[in-house]
Every structure is written in structure tokens, then in C-alpha cells.
Amino acid sequence: MLPDGFSAEARLVLPMVLEAGQLAHRYFRAWHQPHGAEDASALPVEWKDAEEPVTEADRAVSELCIARLGELFPHDVVLSEERPDDGARLSAPRFWLIDPIDGTKDFIAGRAGYAVMIGLVEAGQPILGLVYQPAAERLWLAERGRGAFEFIEHEPPRRMSVSSIATLAEARLVSSASTREELVRKVRDRAGIRDELQVGSVGVKLCLIAAAARDLYMNPAGRCKLWDTAAPEIILSEAGGQLTDMRGSALRYSDRELGHHNGLVASNSHLHREALRVLEPFLVGRG
């Protein structure tokens, strides 16, 4: 299934992320697509804080991924969104980051915009990433130096390259389906952007840019964590795109801090400098 040249890690993790995505989708179908009212199986929703829901499905997918990665790579550190960070990754030569269901709000709402994401970080940088959107039967995968590929059910893998759009007003924006950010609206209006698609998963958003289906994403909230970006960042990068914080700085994966508190900007690279320039006046007074 994978093109020649990909590592043993990529070939081993690929079936695992598909298994994890299928598990997530079984929960999704049982909840939102039952055969009859008596078959419905709604999941209790808990809240880690005011903005972060979690369900039994998140935890089940997390435990599956942790177990499989532990079997495949017993000497590697593994960190999941649903497990406390014990700091072991800080001294590890490499570590895995799991987001078991990225876009949990979409999952809860019955929308297809959620994904299972697994990234491998080495020397402080993502080097391998897999983002699987089971409701669309679509997988994105990239490894450093080997390119980024999109896999759609029953189709051969397609090497991805970002769009060539270089004018901000022509950009096709992708934004959050669950949270409407006022700053994003202001920047969109200032730039004259008219084309906007709303999707839940951060990973899916970045992969749509990598696949040239979208061109720009801005997230000023500062709530994204390492596991939200590790897998899709390498996919976007290998497709020719760019991901930074809202001030243009590279994301960091080697600090103790788990969050990207200065927000995110992702683009096809051609739009990045102009997007940061339009954003700058709106960041005055922010941390």
C-alpha cells in the first residue's frame, strides 16, 4: 500500500492507525447511525475543561494505540492526549504522540470531521505522521524526506503538493466547525477572503491544505497541544506547506510545555508571509 522508500516504522504503524480509526468509527456509527431507536448507543460526555470534551471512544482508541505502539516499539516513549504527561519524552531521543480522536466536538455532534492522529518526533521535530479520517475513508501519511501521500479507499495513493495560490483574497480558508473565532472573521474580512470551509479536526484542516483542497488556516485560540500538530505538520511540510505560530515562529516539541499558546497559522507557504502581515495588527496586546 505504501510507495517504496518508506521506513519500517511507517509500514508498521499504518495498519495500526487504520484499526484505531475503525474502532472510533464503530463508536460513531453506534451513536449516530443506529439501525433503530433501540440500537442507539449515546456516549456520556465529560469535560476536561470548558472547551475540551472527552468520551469513552477517546479513551478506548487511546488505549488501543498505546498498547499497539508499546508492542511495536517497546523502547520508545508514547504520550497520548488521554494520558498524563510524565515528562519521559523530554529525555527521550524520540517519542510518539497520539491524538485518539482529533475533533471530538465533531464526533459528538455526528459530523464526519474527526480523525485519529499519530506522530513520531525525533530530535524535537516531527518526522512521521499519519492522519486517518474514518468517516471519509481517507488517510494522509508523510515521512521526512519521502513526501506526503493521500490514500482514499479503493484508489491508488496520490502524492500531495500544496496549491500555487499566492493572493490572500483568493485563498480558500479552512476554519473550525465548533468554535467561531472573532479574530479569524476580522482577518478574513480584512483580507477579502470569501471561500471558507468549516471542519472540526485540526489535522484534517492541515491535510486539506497539504492536498491543495484548501490554502489557509488560522487558529488564535492557543489551545492546541503537541498531539494536535505533530502528525499533520510533517504531512503539510512534506507537501510544501508551512505551519507556524501566529507570530511566525516555528512550533516547538522539545519543551516541557504541551501547548501552542501563540496560536497557529498554516498555509500553502505562498500565502504565509502575507497572512502573518495581515494578522499582526490584531495581535497587539496579546501575550
pLDDT tens column, 158-181 = 999 999 999 999 999 999 876 667
Percentage with pLDDT > 70 across the chain: 95
Length of the chain counted residue by residue = 287
Strands (E), 13-171: 46-49, 52-54, 77-80, 94-102, 115-122, 125-133, 138-143, 147-152, 158-159
Question: Can you give the pTM of this predicted structure?
Answer: 0.95
R_g over Cα of the chain: 18
pLDDT tens column, 118-129 = 999 999 999 999
Percentage with pLDDT > 90 across the chain: 80
Single-letter code of the amino acid located at 216 = L
Say how far apart CA 106 and CA 133 lie, in whole Å: 12
